[in-house]
Amino acid sequence: MKIAGIGTALPKRRDTSAALDRQLGLVAGRIAALTGVQTRYVCSGEESQITLGTAAAQAALSDAGLLPRDIDLIISAAAVPYQLIPATAPAYQAALGIPDGAAFGFDVNATCLGFVTALEACAGMLASGRFKRALIISSEVASRGLPWDSKPAVAGLFGDGAAAAVVEDSDAPFVTRFRSYPSGYDICKIGAGGTRYDFRAEPEAFAANTFFDMDGKALFRLTSKYFGGFVDDLLADAGWTKAEVDLIVPHQASPMALQHMIRHCGFDAGKVVDICADYGNQIAASIPFALGHARDRLQTGRKVLLLGTSAGVSFGGAAVTF
């Protein structure tokens, strides 16, 4: 399988940590000190998850030299959908002008690992021969559910953004690995919106759980314990050594988490795409956005490692040869 085109999109509004300090009445430099994030982009006005994702999709199609009519499989890979029902992918199909019945669209939700999980789904579906070409869209509007009042150190980590990729079947090597550690199921969550809380019977509990919550220390302990070994196993599956990897594209969880991952896994920092301080954690859009940011480093034959963690807690990664 190969990634034939990559595109990204950002909202127009750019919020600096210094401006947020002033808005929240915090000491100057507080948000940046807590999070390491200097700037993030935020949807406002008529911008939406769909408009952002569609813009990224159009950029990916242009990068691949294709038109929307060339796509027959669309996967929306986001932590939070546009709405609970129906799936978000058909909305992208309509926005791109792909006619009824010309493509199949569905959603994948593996939170921050959505893009890599969608790649895995594409690999099998394209190899079957039933689909010719897929479009994966990861568009996230994290700003809608952040706990600014109660946990600014958590809220300040995130930013909105979108990325998309055109995927085709090929002989290019593609190896993935996924593992879940449900002992950390409640470490990162938005509890409301599904069936866990009944809005009619528990309106207060429902409202209290509509904002994102995270226990950063617990997540750090779990990833520190298992993630290094997970990466070693993925490299062994791919038959690669760390020295052979040309580029590492990790989930942009936080600037501090990225630095810890580099040290813990023994990576060459110069090979790691690290843009979190400028864009924040874009959830499922984080990995493909970082990949798009490094587009000029993806020459043919390059060995690229996509790595991430997600709520659940899960680890995932892909060894991709361009």
> Which residue out of 43, 122, 188, 251 is catalytically annotated?
251
> 291, 8 in Cβ contact below 8 A?
no
- Classify residue 128 by burial, with Cβ atoms within 10 Å: 0-12, 13-18, 19+: exposed
Half-sphere exposure of 197 (CA within 13 A, CB side): 14
Q: Is position 188 annotated as part of the catalytic site?
A: no
CA distances from 106 to 93, 115, 164, 211, 285 (A): 10, 13, 15, 25, 17
> Which residue out of 122, 188, 281, 293 is catalytically annotated?
281
> Which residue out of 43, 109, 112, 265 is catalytically annotated?
112
Q: Is position 251 annotated as part of the catalytic site?
A: yes
User: Is the Cα torsion angle 13, 51, 10, 283 positive or negative in sign?
Assistant: positive
Q: Is position 260 annotated as part of the catalytic site?
A: no
Instruction: Tell which residue, 175, 277, 179, has the closest CA to residue 228.
Output: 179
User: What H or E segment, with its residue span, contains residue 123?
Assistant: helix 114-127
Q: Is the bond preceding residue 175 a cis peptide, omega within 30 degrees?
A: no
Residues involved in catalysis: 112, 251, 281
